[in-house]
Amino acid sequence: MSKVRKVQKEDPLADLPRWAQQLARKYYTKTVNTFLLYGAVRDLQPLQMEDNAKGFGTLKTFLSEELFGGRDHVLFYDRSSGIRSATPETQKDLARVMSGYDAMYGTDYAKVMPRDPGRALQVLENFLRMRLSEGRSLALIIDFAETLVPGGEISHLSSEDRFVLATMDKWAHDPQFLAGDVSIVLLAENLADISPRISRNPYVAPIELPLPTEEERLEYVRYKLEGKRLQSLSDVPLAGLAKMTAGLSRINLDRVLTEALEREIRITSDLLKEKKKEIIQAECHGLLEFIEPVHTLDAVAGHAKAKQMLRQAASALKKGRLEVMPMGYLLSGPVGTGKTFMVSCFAGEIGIPVVKFLNFRSQWQGVTEANLEKIFNLLKALWPVAVMIDEADTFLGNRDSGGDSGTSSRVFGSIASFMGNTQYRGKIVWFLMTARPDLLPIDLKRQGRAEEHLALFYPQTDAERDELFKVMSKKTGVSVDGIDSFSTLIPQGVRAFSGADIEAVMVRSKFRALADGREAVSKDDLAAVLADFVPPSYPLEIELQNLVAVQECTSRELLPEAYRSIDRDLITRRVRELKALLEEG
């Protein structure tokens, strides 16, 4: 298949993807000959067929036929496949050059091309220089570049890796290569996997290939389902299919559609959500957990002011007023106040996906940064999306982390920088949750990152405890007849019940009924469990968590009445006393 453009347009680059336009414009400046493409390099790319119809193919096909279709020679190389050419003519020419190379150096490359990088790059350089001296135009596409110039300290590289690194570095600023018509394209999924000597080289142009946009997914869905009656295949219209598959590559989208077509499974919203969840979690290799919200903020008991603030944010998102959205939220308060539940309910309020950071760190050098890069690329494709980070004070680290060659410090800097990018305002909403916001670095709490600080507290009144009891009854599926007021059943002197405590009481009551051979939970069951139940008691820790939440809260209306009028200096002194008593220094 060869690419032929039938109509000349004012801008010959207009039909190309944005990343390809960026590459072409950099090439036309004649200051760069080496390009590092990273990101969705395994995805399909749009191709213009001979009959002017639209098609899709691999990135290497796109590069050889769309971008470099007019070059005299296009070559490919990777460790696995070795040296290959895009056309039979180039293959014959390469064999002729190799025959001369064999005669000069006593090798036998005309018959069997070398695959190892040390010899293969020497062969390629010889061919490039010979044809450039004749005024020919060339392109060399090197796949799996991370296996040739891996990230890490140079002192840890093998002698062959050092040779390859030096060769790539030399090619990037070689006068003959810069003056001639040659393009060297390196392909890698993660920029962090590539040696900084290449990725940060001023003579190398890193270009990200993003996951397809909604418009590009719609284009692919139309192509995939062309000639088929959509009504007989799907409950979801074409535009809906494109919108609901945010975060998927064209290959992933093809997998979903092909499976549905071949197995004659009707495409529904539920099927799309489930397949999307499976694919994204598989792609992230346990780096993210994809959470489908099942509740709205109506399911949250108490916290009236916090719910009001989040509802206002949800309303702004629904109206598309992203410019008024906070970059992120910090939710603090004692353990068991429902911070995680409230975040998932906020996402359910507007129907956006929620992802939760899992352990993306690795003991292997460079892997942590690569994992983080993969997460960021996915978040950019998924928006609007809520990002949930539990126990943020310990999970995110800080700039002063040491003992791991600076990895933790770099990771913290990357997260802080990504969180603070105003380009993503309203598109990626961050929720940092912690019972100890005082331990969270100021870098993440300042304006421009986690801007709104919401504090949640245990129920303060009998009315709030009764409301929480009703919510927990629905959540656990445990209903108790004849209960006018849950608070009246709580033994005297025990009032600091958290939502987690009430949920535990409900589960115990159900267990007691089943042990007695009954399905229904009675008032006596609940009263007996409450009489026996002793809430975990950590008075100093809970007091400290309450006070630091008060310190961090950015809205006076969120504070319980007992905390609104307390002098801030008094709170600060008491926090210091509690830390000393708990031996926190």
| Domains of the chain from N-terminus onward | 18-209 (3.40.50), 214-283 (1.10.8), 291-455 (3.40.50.300), 460-585 (1.10.8.60)
Q: Quick one: pLDDT at residue 274? A: 82
- Lowest-confidence pick of 292-306, 398-412, 418-432, 504-518: 398-412
Alpha-carbon gap, residue 71 to 62, rounded angstroms:
13
Gap between the Cα atoms of 301 and 297, Å rounded: 9
Q: What pLDDT is recorded for position 8?
A: 47
Say what the pLDDT of residue 272 is: 84
Q: What is the mean pLDDT of residues 108-134?
A: 90
Instruction: Return d(Cα 167, Cα 161) in angstroms, integer.
Output: 10
Q: Which of 3-12, 407-416, 432-441 has the lowest mean pLDDT?
A: 3-12
Neighbours of 48 (CB within 10 A): 19
Burial annotation 443-460 (CB, 10 A radius, 16+ → b, else e) = bbbeeebbbbbbbbbbbe
Residue 28 has pLDDT above 70, yes or no: yes
Q: How do residues 357-374 score in pLDDT, each as one tens digit?
A: 887 776 666 677 778 888
549-560 pLDDT per residue, tens = 999 888 888 888
Q: Give the pLDDT band of residue 1 (cuts 50, 70, 90).
A: very low
Nearest to 458 by CA among 303, 585, 282: 303
Q: 26 is written with which tokens?
A: 């950099």
- Check pLDDT > 70 for residue 289: yes
Most confidently predicted of 196-210, 412-426, 478-492, 525-539: 196-210
pLDDT of residue 2: 39
Q: pLDDT for 174-189, tens place per residue?
A: 999 999 999 999 999 9
Give me the pLDDT at residue 260, please: 83
Query: Residue 203: which pLDDT band, with cuts at 50, 70 and 90?
Result: very high
The whole-number pLDDT of residue 363 equals: 62
Would the pLDDT of 416 be above 90?
A: no
Beta bridge partners, 354, equal 291, 386
Mean pLDDT across 112-140: 92
| Structure tokens given for 430 | 């961050």
Measured between alpha carbons, how far is 36 from 584 in angstroms, rounded to an integer?
A: 48
Reported as a pLDDT band with limits 50, 70 and 90, residue 4 is: very low
C-beta of residue 256 within 8 angstroms of C-beta of residue 245: yes
Task: Give whichever of 49-53, 297-301, 366-370 has the largest mean pLDDT.
Answer: 297-301
d(CA 172, CA 179): 12
- Of the pLDDT bands very low, low, confident and very high (cuts 50, 70, 90), residue 166 is very high
Residue 419 predicted with pLDDT over 90: no
Can you give 190-218 as a three-state secondary structure string? CHHHECHHHHCCCCEEEEEECCCCHHHHH
> pLDDT tens for residues 226-257?
877 777 778 888 888 888 888 889 998 998 88
Alpha-carbon torsion, ordered 433, 434, 438, 442, to 10 deg: -30
Q: Which of 39-48, 187-196, 530-539 has the lowest mean pLDDT?
A: 530-539
- Residue 405 φ then ψ, to 5°: 60, 25
Residue 52 gets which letter from DSSP?
S
Tell me the CA distances in angstroms from 463 to 83, 455, 466, 497, one per residue in order. Answer: 75, 19, 5, 13
The secondary structure of 221-284, three-state, reads: HHHHCCCCCHHHCECCCHHHHHHHCCCCCHHHHHHHHHHHHHCCCCECHHHHHHHHHHHHHHHC
The confidence score (pLDDT) of residue 6 equals 43
Q: What is the pLDDT of residues 206-228, one digit of tens each?
A: 999 998 998 999 999 999 888 77
Percent of the chain with pLDDT over 90: 29
